[in-house]
């Protein structure tokens, strides 16, 4: 083992044989030279401090549900926060770490009669990813419930208040500071009958199953909705529903989902994305902005 792998192995579960295609929901991407599941927030701090001091590139990921990665090897270190998954409930106040799965937390909160996080019940991501992009659904998002976020800035752990986070539609300050590491949050929810919360979450899940290709490899919605409208309408009007390029397809079921039917690459995916963006600008004068993050492409 190398000096780097020896160091990383002290702070979690180390791998050198993983691929982005096995770690992302769209199932694409190349080999990762160094991969680590840290065990604790302190471990993350130790790892990041060392990597920065040695000028070693790194990427922090969670569930990989909003990430498209290129086929070439990534020679840096991927830090996956899935094991940083603690949570605590104290009355209507909730502490949740970045690796907690959003649907799991939504169900736990529903059982405790806490409302406000229902929108995340069928989002296939981790809390860290939701905080990073201000994820949301059904006219709500993380900004509606978050009080503060624990962030590793340089070598320092800092609690940032909500008014510092620059939250907007699918946007946050974290997207403009990619080397900050989002580690946990505190949220405020409200008391409500558990059965009512579960009924709402189950109804929304059934609606998603009926209208979205949840059985296909994808990143979820590809484009942000333009103001006061829906991205899928423009995609449909331009004739892209069902469009295919190699293994990539604009879903027949929901045209704002671009799915990987097998063998699709990031280059294929982005070619389809850029073509749709170009046509939308040319035909309607609108800019369709990707929700999906691209990496090592």
Q: With contact defined as beta carbons under 8 Å apart, do 61 and 23 qualify?
A: yes
Q: Residue 163 has what DSSP assignment? A: G
Active-site residue identified among 170, 172, 186, 218: 170
Residue spans of beta strands (DSSP E) within the chain: 12-15, 18-19, 31-38, 58-61, 67-69, 74-80, 87-90, 93-97, 114-115, 136-137, 140-141, 146-153, 156-161, 181-188, 190-191, 244-245, 248-250, 258-260, 293-295
Q: Give, for 234, the enclosing helix (H) or strand (E).
A: helix 231-237
73 is catalytic: no
Of all helices (H) and strands (E), which one includes residue 239? none
Q: What is the dihedral of CA 110, 199, 66, 287, to 10 degrees?
A: -120
9 has catalytic annotation: no
Q: Tokens 């369709």 correspond to what residue? A: 288
251 is catalytic: no
- Per annotation, catalytic residue among 97, 118, 249, 291: 291
Of 221, 249, 251, 255, the catalytic one is: 221
Q: Which residues are catalytic?
A: 170, 221, 291
């Amino acid at each position: 083992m190398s000096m780097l792998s020896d160091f990383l192995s002290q702070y979690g579960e180390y791998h050198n044989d993983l691929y982005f295609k096995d770690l992302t929901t769209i199932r694409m991407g190349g080999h990762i030279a160094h991969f680590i599941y840290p065990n604790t927030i302190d471990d993350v701090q130790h790892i990041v401090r060392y990597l920065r001091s040695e000028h070693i590139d790194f990427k922090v990921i969670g569930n990989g549900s909003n990430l498209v990665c290129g086929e070439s090897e990534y020679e840096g270190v991927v830090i996956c926060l899935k094991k940083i998954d603690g949570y605590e409930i104290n009355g209507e106040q909730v502490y949740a770490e970045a690796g907690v799965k959003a649907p799991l937390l939504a169900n736990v909160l529903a059982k405790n009669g806490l409302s406000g996080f229902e929108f995340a019940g069928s989002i296939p991501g981790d809390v860290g990813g939701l905080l990073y992009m201000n994820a949301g659904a059904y006219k709500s998002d993380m900004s509606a419930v978050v009080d503060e976020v624990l962030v590793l800035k340089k070598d320092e752990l800092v609690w940032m208040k909500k008014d510092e986070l620059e939250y907007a539609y699918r946007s946050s300050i974290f997207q403009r500071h990619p080397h900050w590491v989002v580690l946990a949050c505190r949220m405020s929810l409200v008391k409500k009958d558990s059965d009512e919360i579960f009924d709402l979450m189950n109804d929304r899940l059934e609606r998603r199953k009926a209208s979205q290709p949840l059985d296909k490899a994808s990143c979820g919605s590809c484009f942000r909705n333009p103001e006061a409208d829906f991205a899928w309408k423009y995609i449909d009007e331009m004739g892209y529903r069902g469009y295919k390029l190699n293994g990539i397809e604009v879903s027949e079921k929901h045209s704002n989902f671009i799915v990987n039917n097998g063998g699709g690459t990031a280059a294929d995916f982005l070619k389809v994305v850029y073509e749709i963006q170009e046509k939308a600008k040319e035909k309607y004068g609108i800019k369709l902005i990707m929700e999906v993050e691209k990496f090592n492409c």
